[in-house]
Amino acid sequence: MLELVEEHRCFGGVQRIYKHESESIGLPMRFSVFLPAAASAAKVPALFYLAGLTCTEETFPIKAGAQRYAAEHGIALIAPDTSPRGADIPGEKDAWDFGVGAGFYVDATREPWSKHYRMYSYVTQDLRSAVLADLPVREDRLGIFGHSMGGHGALVLALRNPDLFKSVSAFAPIAAPSQCPWGVKAFSGYLGDDREAWKQYDASELVRGDSASRFANGILIDQGLGDQFLAEQLHPDIFERNAREAGRNVTVRRHEGYDHGYFFISTFVGEHVAHHARVLCA
């Protein structure tokens, strides 16, 4: 059961925030939804957007400016929160890159995180089921994209679930988390020290598999060359190299001067929505 928290008229459609109970998380979760005008007459395709570190379900709809493009294509936009809230785990608010606001879209296996920090199952099961049950969204026309930590999440969720998500793209993703400080910290804390277990959540490992060939429009990544996190944290070159060696259809576009923030995302978000629309609206 979805509880409507707020609603606003937006580009002929509605922008909403919902709250619901999550079985996977064991706590209430919030997510935002933009429904285009077309959704008042029929079920529409939908794009799931996964946000980055410190963000909430409000960040993307407020900052990205994607509703204009989604309205033009008749696509819904769904953006969940980035972690559980209210788990009351000691230390969960001590760092901005681990714990609250930093769920990394994994199912934690290490105590005390394993009880509530299950964002992988939340997005693929609870959120998806709630959206399909209560909103005018087509089950066979779902895509996924995201930014930074959420770009990592989008790539991983798509590559592991090509039957659920028909299209995928990312902005400045943490593309090889097993090889960067953010990822090593998160994976060690949530999953433990077995690096083999990390591979199931590392897009640069997953892109070698057959699932990467199942996206009709390929995988699109945009990366700013003025991004302060590019050299140490993001490593799109590793993802691109592994994809190329495996013969996968991946496009990494590099943009001079653009940084890691939402000015960058808002510049190219229309092209990402169009990338998905070519598959979801076909």
Of 24, 32, 83, 148, which is the active-site residue? 148
Q: Kindly list the distances between the CA atom of residue 234 and the CA atoms of 186, 239, 282, in Å, as whole numbers in the listed order.
A: 14, 10, 32
To the query of whether residue 227 is one of the catalytic residues in this protein, the response is: yes
To the query of whether residue 276 is one of the catalytic residues in this protein, the response is: no
Of 260, 272, 275, 276, which is the active-site residue? 260
Bridge partners, residue 222, by sequence = 171, 253
Q: Kindly list the distances between the CA atom of residue 249 and the CA atoms of 49, 201, 231, 242, in Å, as whole numbers in the listed order.
A: 21, 20, 24, 11
Which of helix, strand or coil describes residue 235? Answer: coil
d(CA 133, CA 126): 10
To the query of whether residue 121 is one of the catalytic residues in this protein, the response is: no
Of 147, 227, 235, 272, which is the active-site residue? 227
d(CA 193, CA 125): 26
The label of the residue with tokens 């902005």 reads 171
Helical segments of the chain, H only = 59-63, 67-73, 119-121, 128-134, 149-160, 181-191, 195-198, 203-206, 236-245, 262-280
Instruction: Name the token pair of 9.
Output: 């008229």
Strands (DSSP E) contained in the chain are 3-10, 13-21, 28-35, 44-50, 76-80, 137-147, 167-171, 219-224, 250-255
Q: At 149, give phi and psi (nearest 5°).
A: -55, -35
The residues carrying an active-site annotation are: 148, 227, 260
